[in-house]
């Protein structure tokens, strides 16, 4: 089958998904178009213009299926290239703008919300990487529609719900590695984007509490960095250096070195305000880390309660959980980790294949 795959805001997590999809299903003839993950406001509105008049020849080829990320301005693109309007289409939501936390610095606009809503209504099938992502989009769309002044047709949210399905971004086979723990303090890895929505303030507060409680730990702060970093990271580094608990710091260029760090770490920590699936955490768990994650977001459906710290008095709950794990390690007790093999490509490939096959045969996948 000939499949057109569109990634309009090709962030690292979107690349991870689309490359995995193409590699896992090589029997199909893939055409991939992507645009850089920058200039967010322009990109989400202008991608249809960029592609329709810059990639017209490729877009007008005969395709059996279109798979587009939720950042694609699908309604405009189908208007600019009418042949695409006749091709079955799947929209994949890695995230939704209804549940994205506000930093207080962004320009307030309803445009990203409308784009999510229109894409979900335009698609033949709407896929989400978690139930949390699906539910927050449906709830947010309902709130938005109730605020619109007039001429809002009934049943729009129900239409989206009926075409929706949760299908996780699968983990590649190479991330499933044996744990290789080391002796000494509790080895903790925090492996997220260095941005406000990943909760660095909570991370700093937890470190301060662990130091006050004299917990034996080493913290590795790694992940994707940008030119402008929240100032809290400077404070965090100073704290860890002064306490002698600083491990790896900054982005690790070598994939092999990063994988080795995950294998020797005891715990992968999330302090996120925003995670629709938490691939970084899942990869660490696949390499033997125990997740310590907040009791919110997608984590409630991914991990049992024993791996989630409470939202009430969150700093204390997080520090207490880490303190208990440190004590267990010092006593020689094994640190339990959950199995995430059901989220790997070998387990999920058939589900992705089913969606593609059923839509290209003119039906709707069964749930």
Contact in structure between 349 and 355 (CB atoms under 8 Å): no
Is 308 inside a domain boundary?
A: yes
Is 144 inside a domain boundary?
A: yes
Is 366 inside a domain boundary?
A: no
Q: Are residues 244 and 326 in the same domain?
A: yes
What pLDDT, in 10s, does the model give residues 327-347? 999 999 999 999 999 999 999
What pLDDT, in 10s, does the model give residues 111-134? 999 999 999 999 999 999 999 999
Q: Are residues 214 and 282 in the same domain?
A: yes
Q: Are residues 117 and 208 in the same domain?
A: no
Q: Extract long-range pairs of 174-177: CB within 8 Å, 24+ residues apart.
A: 175/259, 175/283, 175/286, 175/287, 176/286, 176/287, 176/341, 176/344, 177/259, 177/262, 177/263, 177/286, 177/287, 177/288
Query: What's the pTM value of the predicted model, to 2 decimals?
Result: 0.94
Distance from the Cα of residue 210 to its chain's centroid: 28
Is 365 inside a domain boundary?
A: no
Which residues have CB under 8 Å from 256's CB, separation 6+?
none
Q: Are residues 306 and 323 in the same domain?
A: yes
Q: Are residues 180 and 289 in the same domain?
A: yes
Q: Are residues 162 and 191 in the same domain?
A: no
Q: Is the model's pLDDT at 103 over the cut of 90? A: no
Is 224 inside a domain boundary?
A: yes
Q: Are residues 132 and 253 in the same domain?
A: no
362: left (phi over 0), alpha (psi -120 to 50) or beta: left
Residues 243, 249, 255, 259, Cα dihedral to 10°: 20
Q: Is the model's pLDDT at 324 over the cut of 50? A: yes
What pLDDT, in 10s, does the model give residues 170-205? 999 999 999 999 999 999 999 999 999 999 999 999
Is 165 inside a domain boundary?
A: yes
Is 275 inside a domain boundary?
A: yes
Domains in the chain: how many in total?
2
| Separation between Cα atoms, residue 123 and residue 65, nearest integer Å | 11
The CATH number assigned to the domain holding 153 equals: 3.40.50.2000
Q: Is the model's pLDDT at 16 over the cut of 70? A: yes
**Banded pLDDT at 67 (limits 50, 70, 90):** very high
Is 367 inside a domain boundary?
A: no
| Separation between Cα atoms, residue 91 and residue 78, nearest integer Å | 13
Q: Is the model's pLDDT at 102 over the cut of 80? A: no
For residue 227, the model assigns a pLDDT of: 81
Q: Are residues 121 and 181 in the same domain?
A: no
What pLDDT, in 10s, does the model give residues 235-282? 999 999 999 999 999 999 999 999 999 999 999 999 999 899 999 999
Least confident residue range of 45-54, 93-102, 261-270, 306-315: 93-102
Q: Is the model's pLDDT at 105 over the cut of 80? A: no
For residue 365, the model assigns a pLDDT of: 44
Residue numbers of the domain that contains 193:
173-342
Q: Are residues 93 and 242 in the same domain?
A: no
Q: Are residues 193 and 337 in the same domain?
A: yes
């Amino acid at each position: 089958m000939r499949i057109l795959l569109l990634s309009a805001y090709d962030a690292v997590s979107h690349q991870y998904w689309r490359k995995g999809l193409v590699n896992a299903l090589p029997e199909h003839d893939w055409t991939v178009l992507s645009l850089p993950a920058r200039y967010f406001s322009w990109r989400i509105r202008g991608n249809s213009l960029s592609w329709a008049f810059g990639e017209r020849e490729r877009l007008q080829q005969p395709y059996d299926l279109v798979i587009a990320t939720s950042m694609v301005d699908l309604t405009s693109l189908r208007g600019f290239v009418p042949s695409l309007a006749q091709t079955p289409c799947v929209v994949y939501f890695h995230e939704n703008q209804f549940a994205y936390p506000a930093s207080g610095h962004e320009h307030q606009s309803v445009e990203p919300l409308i784009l999510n809503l229109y894409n979900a209504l335009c698609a033949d099938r709407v896929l989400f990487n978690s139930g949390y992502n699906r539910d927050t989009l449906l709830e947010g769309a309902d709130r938005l529609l109730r605020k619109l002044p007039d001429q809002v047709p009934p049943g729009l949210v129900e239409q989206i719900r009926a075409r929706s399905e949760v299908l996780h971004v699968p983990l590649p086979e190479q991330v499933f590695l044996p744990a290789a723990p080391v002796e000494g303090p509790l080895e903790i890895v925090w492996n997220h984007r260095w941005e406000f929505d990943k909760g660095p303030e909570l991370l700093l507060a937890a470190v301060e509490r662990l130091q006050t409680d004299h917990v034996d730990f080493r913290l590795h702060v790694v992940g994707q960095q940008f030119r402008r970093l929240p100032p809290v990271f400077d404070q965090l580094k100073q704290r860890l250096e002064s306490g002698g608990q600083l491990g790896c710091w900054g982005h690790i260029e070598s994939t092999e070195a990063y994988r080795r760090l995950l294998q020797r770490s005891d715990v992968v920590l999330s302090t996120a305000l925003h995670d629709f699936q938490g691939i970084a955490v899942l990869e660490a768990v696949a390499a033997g880390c125990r997740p310590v994650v907040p009791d919110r977001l997608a984590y409630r459906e991914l991990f049992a309660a024993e791996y989630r710290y409470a939202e009430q008095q969150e700093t204390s709950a997080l520090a207490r959980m880490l303190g208990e794990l440190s004590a267990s390690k010092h006593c020689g007790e094994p640190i339990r980790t959950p199995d995430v093999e059901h989220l790997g490509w070998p387990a999920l490939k058939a589900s992705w294949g089913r969606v593609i096959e059923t839509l290209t045969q003119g039906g709707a996948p069964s749930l």
